[in-house]
């Protein structure tokens, strides 16, 4: 199905959308658990905890997602170790999904007027470092992380901020209806819905099963599908 109108802004999630960071995130979580004297967890279990930011990832891993078991000092200790470890090991096994660079290049070549950005719940510094390392930053006018605002996805604040910035850059107002959020989880779909934007769900990501809980407007089975949705409305 084609999109309702040609987009003027495309916003991408990072983990599970542009990059596969599963192994490095899981290794960092298990290093944290070992540091705390807790048993490590299978990669499949930790992968299910990814998507809501570093703090929630750590809370889920230590078995306290609601924050009513351990005190804040303990969680801070765990999170600090996790972030320090991940900062060093974030590029050990992480890679860009096949076809991502080609898809971004194609969008830029065929539609240079479309602005692109990143909105992730990963902390902003590792997000930008990873995009810099893989040469992805050149495609994006902005890269915001989970600590860039007072709220995280699925709160629409970050996406609304990007729409406002894109409008200023382009010299004309960009509406949510002209904006697409691309991601691999229900969090990304809900972010788009909460803003009034459209969504593309990536079935090749880290948590594509979560898309069943919040079906996106369109499904992308490979990065090349992103371009097909854009071209369908050109």
- Active-site positions read 13
Contact 206, 179 (CB under 8 A): no
Q: How far is CA 130 from the centre of its chain?
A: 12
Reference 4, options 175, 212, 224, 210; nearest CA is 175
CA atoms within 13 A on the CB side of 183: 35
Q: What is the distance between the alpha carbons of residues 31 and 26, in angstroms, rounded to a whole number?
A: 9
3-class SS at 147? coil
Q: What does the block give as tokens for 85? A: 């470890």
Residue 63 DSSP code:
T
Task: Tell the residue number behind the tokens 């719940």, with chain if given.
Answer: 121
Q: Which residues pair with 200 in a beta bridge?
A: 182, 218
Q: What does the block give as tokens for 159? A: 């996406």
Task: Give one word for 19, left, alpha or beta, with left for phi > 0 and alpha for psi -120 to 50.
Answer: beta
């Amino acid at each position: 199905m084609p999109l309702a109108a040609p987009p003027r802004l495309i916003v991408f999630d990072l983990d599970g959308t542009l990059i596969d960071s599963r192994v490095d995130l899981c290794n960092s979580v298990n290093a944290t658990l070992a540091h705390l004297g807790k048993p490590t967890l299978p990669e499949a279990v930790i992968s299910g905890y990814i998507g809501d930011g570093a703090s929630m990832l750590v809370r889920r891993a230590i078995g306290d997602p609601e924050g009513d078991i351990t005190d804040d000092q303990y969680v801070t200790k765990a999170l600090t170790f996790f972030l320090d470890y991940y900062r060093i090991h974030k590029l050990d096994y992480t890679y860009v999904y096949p076809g991502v660079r080609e898809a971004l290049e194609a969008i830029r070549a065929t539609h240079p007027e479309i602005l692109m950005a990143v909105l992730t719940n990963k902390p902003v510094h590792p997000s930008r470092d990873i995009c810099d390392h893989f040469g992805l930053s050149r495609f994006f006018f902005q890269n915001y992380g989970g600590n860039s605002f007072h709220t995280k996805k699925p709160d629409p604040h970050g996406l609304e901020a990007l729409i406002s910035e894109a409008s200023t850059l382009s010299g004309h107002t960009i509406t949510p209806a002209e904006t697409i959020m691309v991601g691999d989880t229900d969090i990304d779909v809900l972010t788009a819905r909460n803003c009034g934007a459209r969504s593309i769900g990536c079935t090749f990501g880290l948590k594509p099963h979560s898309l069943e809980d919040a079906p996106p407007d369109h499904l992308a089975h490979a990065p090349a599908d992103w371009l097909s949705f854009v071209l369908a409305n050109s």
